[in-house]
């Protein structure tokens, strides 16, 4: 019985594709995962959390960044667009493109029944292993 091997991308291939893409995708274990739109409730939670964080992080030191900032998650090699990232001190960015944050101290992801499985395991791994 023949099997169809799954072609895996390198981080460099993912980044080249992603930087040219019209829509955002995340990356884990050599696989790109297309991101879907969000519900109104998700968007409200994200904006309310961002507002609260902005108030509490006012002043020098830390800042909250919204979901357009791609983050490279350390050991896992995952590239993701968390709903909100918090970085303290000088943001460390991966390369001259300055589009991959390397040093967030916390990531926030709004879960919903329709996205929870994906958010906890793109593609088949568990977030706890990140």
Q: Enter the CATH code of domain 37-122.
A: 3.90.1570.10
Domain borders along the chain are: 37-122
Distances (CA, A) of 32 to 6, 12, 43, 66: 12, 12, 23, 21
pLDDT in tens, the chain (130 residues): 455 556 899 999 999 999 999 999 999 989 998 887 888 998 999 999 999 999 999 888 999 999 999 999 887 889 999 999 999 999 999 989 999 999 999 999 988 776 666 666 655 443 333 3
Query: What is the pTM for the complete model shown?
Result: 0.81
Do residues 33 and 94 make contact, with C-beta atoms less than 8 angstroms apart?
no
């Amino acid at each position: 019985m023949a099997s169809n091997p799954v072609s895996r991308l390198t981080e460099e291939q993912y980044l080249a594709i992603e930087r040219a893409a019209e829509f955002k995708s995340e990356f884990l274990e050599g696989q790109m995962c297309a991101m879907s739109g969000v519900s109104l409730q998700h968007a409200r939670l994200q904006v309310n959390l961002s507002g609260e964080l902005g108030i509490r992080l006012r002043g020098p030191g830390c800042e909250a960044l919204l979901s357009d900032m791609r983050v490279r998650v350390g050991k896992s090699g995952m590239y993701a667009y968390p709903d909100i990232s918090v970085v303290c001190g000088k943001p460390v960015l991966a390369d001259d493109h300055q589009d991959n944050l390397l040093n967030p101290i916390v990531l926030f992801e709004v879960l919903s029944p329709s996205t929870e499985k994906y958010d906890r395991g793109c593609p088949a791994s568990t977030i706890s292993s990140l």
